Structure 1
Amino acid sequence: MTGQEQIAIVKHVPFSVLKKRIKHHKGLPEVLPRLLFIRLRYKGMSVVKAADAVGVSGQTGYNWQERWNADSFEGLVPRYAGGHPSKLTDEQKAELLELLQEQDHWTTVEAQRLIQSHFGIDYSQDQVRRILKSFGMHYGKPYPRDHRRPGDAEKILKKKCRA
């Protein structure tokens, strides 16, 4: 079957309408390469060559064409999945936020150990960073602390400045 397409492209709209949609595209940026792929398929290019021309794998090209054939323009809009559910429940996250507010400064490792000891859940440091960021916490470079500094350094400084 050399040179013969196994799955034909369904021409839902005329080529001129497709060109206008590409030229005046204002939707999701992920849709534009898909429209360009469909235009190449309208011109008679094979699925694999058209997919290669827009920088995706042949399998992705077949997936895009299948969705185009079934749903026209709507089929090219990405369908994002929700991702893996969190190991911590919403109640546990609220409890974690309360625990984190008991102390001013946390390192990622300290927060990771807190989650492990309190909830029994192992998270990577990267995931702990994402959780902390979702709480509105931000990374900050630690302020250097001199081990020789007296506990009442501010009071001593004020006394010396007055004298």
Structure 2
Amino acid sequence: MTGREQIAIVRHVPYAVLKKRIKHHHGLPEVMPRLLFIRLRYTGVSVVNAADAVGVSGQTGYNWQERWNAAGFDGLVPRYGGGHPSKLTDEQKAELLELLREHDHWTTVEAQCLIQSHFGVAYSLDQVRRILKSFGMHFAKPYPRDHRRPADAKTLLKKNSRG
């Protein structure tokens, strides 16, 4: 089986439209190498050589071409699996956010202990950071606070400094 491609490329759009789409691509960056691969296939380059030119395996090239042939541009958009489902439901995450809003400052370890004690779910510190970040919370160095400082320290200072 030499000299001839097993699977022909379907020309969903003219070559000029494909070039224009590549030049003005503003979508997912993962789509660009796929578009370049399809452009090479339009010019007659073999699947394996086109795949090699964009830095993927020959099998990946065949997969991309199969998806292009079936769905055109839409077939080149990555289909992410979504990952492992969360241990906390959306309702539990909403409840966690309300619990976290009861205090101004949380450490990651404190948030991890709260999740463990309240929901019975053990998360790593990295995962707790991701959850807190998804809530819009940010890391910051804690402001040093003296536990002996009275609540009305500013008024006491003003009162004592005038005399």
TM-score range, shorter chain: 0.7 to 0.9
User: How far did 1:48 drift?
Assistant: 2.6
Letter in 2 for 1:110: E
Letter in 2 for 1:114: L
Does the residue aligned with 2:72 lie in a helix, a strand or coil?
helix
The answer to whether the aligner puts 1:33 opposite 2:33 as a matched pair is yes
The runs of 5 or more residues in structure 1 that have no matched partner are none
Distance in 1 between the 2:11 and 2:144 partners? 66
Does the residue aligned with 1:102 lie in a helix, a strand or coil?
coil
User: How far did 1:88 drift?
Assistant: 0.7
Alignment-derived partner of residue 140 in structure 2: 140
The runs of 5 or more residues in structure 2 that have no matched partner are none
Alignment-derived partner of residue 79 in structure 1: 79
Q: TM-score, normalised by structure 2?
A: 0.81
User: How far did 1:43 drift?
Assistant: 1.9
The answer to whether the aligner puts 1:90 opposite 2:90 as a matched pair is yes
Mapping of residues 105-124 of structure 1, within 5 Å: 105-124=105-124
Letter in 2 for 1:15: Y
Q: Which runs of 4+ in 1 moved over 6 A?
A: none
Letter in 2 for 1:144: P
Alignment-derived partner of residue 18 in structure 2: 18
Deviations 1:32-82 (A, max 9, x none): 321211111122222232123223333322211110111222212233333
What do you get for the CA RMSD once the two structures are aligned?
Answer: 2.5
Work out the percentage of aligned pairs sharing the same amino acid: 81
Letter in 1 for 2:50: A
The answer to whether the aligner puts 1:103 opposite 2:97 as a matched pair is no
User: How far did 1:155 drift?
Assistant: 4.9
Letter in 2 for 1:94: A
Q: TM-score, normalised by structure 1?
A: 0.81
Distance in 1 between the 2:135 and 2:25 partners? 36
User: How far did 1:150 drift?
Assistant: 4.2
Distance in 2 between the 1:150 and 1:19 partners? 68
